A and B are shown apart, each in its own frame.
Chain A
């Protein structure tokens, strides 16, 4: 009972205390609650963060492995491409070397031979020198000949002069004008006169009425073709009787003869005295010599045409079809198509294998075909597909 009394005594304060404690405790409770919540939240946060970190680490590992795998795959491809490009470059370089050698050889041998050109130019210059020397020799020779001819002409002139002046030669009694006694030695002309033979008297000059007008007639022609007063062309009297008559109006000697009424005797002597002339047969032969045409002229005039005809005939023989090729126009639209013999026969084309390869199954050892033991070259398996696309990924 004491407790009870105590309790009852305290009971009024209990309520107050109870209320006081509750109300006082409330904020503490709140505070403690908050604190507990804080602690919890922080702790949970830590938990979750560590969990997330854990997850991250795991994910990173996974990603790392996956990405490395992808990278390795890519790297393999890159290496392949690089290798391929390197090999193609190598092949190209080798091919260039081969081509260089071959092209140089080809040009040197077939297109332009430098050494041949050098040789040729050397030969040309040698020929030039030879020609130059030859021409100079020729010119010198010509000069020498001309000089010689000049000298000879001079000599002849002097000789003729000496002959004309022969009467000036000194005799025993009278010294000539070139042999004056007051000179030490005679003039060279004196010696010339001594050497020369005196000229004979010329025949009495016949009065030529028209010779001047006839001989200096044509400024163009030489007077060689005219009969000169001294030497007249002889005539073989037996062959050309008419010539005498033909010449009579012209030749002054004969004119004179005619005018003096001297008869055939005079004419005969005059004709006999005429100088040398060519034989009449020779002359007629030359004058009537037949034309010797060149080969080109001797051929018939329509040779070209005949030759063309010939050629055309030969070509016609080789033609399969006489019609010329016609254009793809509607020119022969209406013509029916005539197939060739190959197409229109019932015998068709024979297959290649049957035609050329004969198979004899009885002789076969086994049923199966040959087996390839060795693998084929890769290089040649890709023949034609790789080489033209250098550097590209096939």
Chain B
């Protein structure tokens, strides 16, 4: 009898503990309770319950701690200060998979807030145990461990290096090949966050053979997975030419172009980011992108998106056109210029307009043919108005001024230059009149005229003598422009 009563006491206590810990875990899901819980001193209680005999209580206590630490960084710091981490790390190695999942969740929740907290996690030796968890059989454990590693590696290069030194990268590559979609997502995002900091880390990721697997998975229908894979590939390829070439060798073209037609905005954005990072390094890589029809796909993608999703596509066109005039001509014949001028006029944000202005400047600066192609779409007045308006940010003004200058220096298409004579400021006007002089001078020589043109810094001097040959060039400029030229020179 008494034995039973004694056992009953123990059972009651266990029940009470279980109930308490479950309630705390449930309360911790709602943000409004967390303050109260913190003030009630839940941290120390949970810490003792972590060492409980019953595994369920341990697991639930860990879960509750994870939810609390997830909420804000003060609580996460409190977790660190109460020395909970070493205990977690120690038991991570031994316990069953549910506990491992919960403990990995706590580490993730603590590590995501700031680099110092992540460093604290690394200091208590959690990386090795997390890497061991990556080798576990259960995909949930792997996912939790990969997520924790991702949040640790996200902050800066040293922490990423620590994660790599713990040997996580080959295991993450193995995780990518697992059949579970969630695990693939997390592993891909972890690799992306590792590779983004420096070329050496990206090289480590590539050396582990990640690129081939990532490239194979581009065709996966899951949108979030595609988003992470494209992000990983773009982080790898952005650092150097060799890495970009390695990514290209994995035969992502033309498969990646299908991602540009995806419904999900982030997938489109990351796909155009990836193409941009590849195309920006050398003319050969840009040529490769052009030959694969990437320019047309990106232009269509720009047309179908709005806002920040367009930005990588616009920059990609600018980079391609900047390399050489043949590539700029390729952008022009793919009908890129009308699309860019649409972006320039209709986007509300200044940084996107600045990018579009820069891209147009790169396209139009090579030869008169290119400048004519840009001028024909009537973008020059838009650029001028952006330069002149006081509401534009400084960056936008500088970029539009440079674009105007570059295009004007090569533009010989007079109908597009005429509006500039009316309302351009003097520093741009001198370029415009210089272009006029360049075009008119040989013509007037042919009709036996004297035009002395000196394109110098101080206002241009154009002396035109009336002669019967004047009518020959009358059709080129309107009378008003002629009057304006004379008025300008009389000043």
Check if A and B associate.
yes
Query: Which residues of A are interface residues toward B (Cβ below 8 A)?
Result: 117, 120-121, 124-125, 127-132, 135-136, 138-139, 142, 210, 213-214, 217-218, 220-222, 224-226, 246, 249-250, 283, 287, 289, 291-294, 296-297
Which residues 203-256 of B have a CB within 8 angstroms of A? 207-209, 212, 254
B300 at the interface (CB under 8 A from A): yes
B368 at the interface (CB under 8 A from A): no
Task: Let me know if B329 and A213 touch, CB within 8 A.
Answer: no
New A-B contacts (19) at CB < 8 Å, excluding given A131-B293, A131-B296: A120-B326, A121-B330, A124-B293, A132-B300, A136-B261, A210-B22, A210-B56, A213-B22, A217-B101, A217-B102, A220-B144, A224-B139, A224-B180, A225-B138, A225-B180, A250-B96, A294-B207, A296-B207, A297-B208
Q: How large is the interface on B (under 10, 10 to 19, 20 to 34, 35 or more residues)?
A: 35 or more
On whether A130 and B293 interact (CB within 8 A), knowing A246-B96, A249-B55, the answer reads yes
CB 8 Å contact bits of B285-318 with A (1 = contact, 0 = none): 0000011111111001000000000000000000
Task: Let me know if B293 and A213 touch, CB within 8 A.
Answer: no
Which of B55, B102, B296 neighbours the largest number of chain A CB atoms within 10 Å of its CB?
B296
Q: Which of A121, A289, A297 contacts B329 (CB 8 A)?
A: A121
The 6 closest A-B pairs by CB, nearest first: A131-B293, A128-B296, A225-B140, A127-B293, A294-B209, A139-B261
Q: How far is the CB of B303 from chain A (nearest CB, A)?
A: 11
A200 to B212, CA, bound (A): 48
On whether A222 and B182 interact (CB within 8 A), knowing A217-B101, A297-B208, the answer reads yes
Which of B139, B180, B209 neighbours the largest number of chain A CB atoms within 10 Å of its CB?
B209
Q: Can you name 30 A-B residue pairings with CB atoms under 8 Å?
A: A117-B329, A121-B333, A124-B293, A124-B330, A125-B333, A127-B296, A128-B334, A129-B296, A130-B293, A131-B293, A131-B296, A131-B297, A132-B300, A135-B300, A139-B261, A142-B261, A213-B25, A217-B102, A218-B63, A218-B140, A220-B105, A221-B101, A222-B140, A224-B140, A224-B180, A225-B180, A226-B140, A250-B96, A294-B209, A294-B212
Q: How far is the CB of A220 from chain B (nearest CB, A)?
A: 6
On whether A135 and B208 interact (CB within 8 A), knowing A213-B60, A220-B105, A287-B137, the answer reads no
B283 at the interface (CB under 8 A from A): no
Task: Let me know if B261 and A135 touch, CB within 8 A.
Answer: yes
Task: Let me know if B207 and A218 touch, CB within 8 A.
Answer: no
A292 to B63, CA, bound (A): 37
A120 to B324, CA, bound (A): 14
Q: Closest chain A residue to B325 by CB distance? A: A117
Query: For A130, what are the chain B residues with a Cβ–Cβ distance below 8 Å?
Result: 293
Task: Let me know if A225 and B139 touch, CB within 8 A.
Answer: yes
Which of A129, A131, A142, A222 neighbours the largest number of chain B CB atoms within 10 Å of its CB?
A131
Query: For A124, what are the chain B residues with a Cβ–Cβ distance below 8 Å?
Result: 290-291, 293, 295, 330, 333-334
Q: Closest chain A residue to B327 by CB distance? A: A124
Task: Let me know if A135 and B334 touch, CB within 8 A.
Answer: no
Q: Is the interface of B mostly helix, strand, loop or mixed?
A: helix
Q: Closest chain A residue to B260 by CB distance? A: A135
Query: For A246, what are the chain B residues with a Cβ–Cβ distance below 8 Å?
Result: 96
A131 to B326, CA, bound (A): 20
B147 at the interface (CB under 8 A from A): yes
Q: How far is the CB of B184 from chain A (nearest CB, A)?
A: 12
Which of A127, A218, A292 neighbours the largest number of chain B CB atoms within 10 Å of its CB?
A218
Which residues 159-191 of B have a CB within 8 angstroms of A? 170, 174, 180, 182
Task: Let me know if B300 and A221 touch, CB within 8 A.
Answer: no
A261 to B331, CA, bound (A): 78
Task: Let me know if B98 and A250 touch, CB within 8 A.
Answer: yes
Q: Which of A218, A224, A287, A292 contacts B209 (CB 8 A)?
A: A292
A217 to B144, CA, bound (A): 12
B258 at the interface (CB under 8 A from A): yes
Q: Which of A142, A210, A221 contacts B143 (CB 8 A)?
A: A221
B46 at the interface (CB under 8 A from A): no
Q: How far is the CB of B246 from chain A (nearest CB, A)?
A: 9
B75 at the interface (CB under 8 A from A): no
Query: For A296, what are the chain B residues with a Cβ–Cβ distance below 8 Å?
Result: 207
CB 8 Å contact bits of B42-64 with A (1 = contact, 0 = none): 00000000000001100010010
Query: For A291, what are the chain B residues with a Cβ–Cβ distance below 8 Å?
Result: 170, 174
Query: For A294, what are the chain B residues with a Cβ–Cβ distance below 8 Å?
Result: 207, 209, 212
Query: For A142, what are the chain B residues with a Cβ–Cβ distance below 8 Å?
Result: 261, 263
Q: Closest chain B residue to A246 by CB distance? A: B96
A217 to B102, CA, bound (A): 8
Q: How far is the CB of B190 from chain A (nearest CB, A)?
A: 13
Query: For A289, what are the chain B residues with a Cβ–Cβ distance below 8 Å?
Result: 174
Query: For A125, what are the chain B residues with a Cβ–Cβ distance below 8 Å?
Result: 333-334
Query: For B294, what are the chain A residues with a Cβ–Cβ distance below 8 Å?
Result: 131
Task: Let me know if A220 and B143 touch, CB within 8 A.
Answer: yes
Query: For A221, what are the chain B residues with a Cβ–Cβ distance below 8 Å?
Result: 101, 140, 143-144, 182
Q: How far is the CB of A107 from chain B (nearest CB, A)?
A: 16
Task: Let me know if A218 and B144 touch, CB within 8 A.
Answer: yes
A128 to B297, CA, bound (A): 8
On whether A132 and B144 interact (CB within 8 A), knowing A210-B56, A225-B139, the answer reads no
Query: For A131, what are the chain B residues with a Cβ–Cβ distance below 8 Å?
Result: 254, 257, 292-294, 296-297
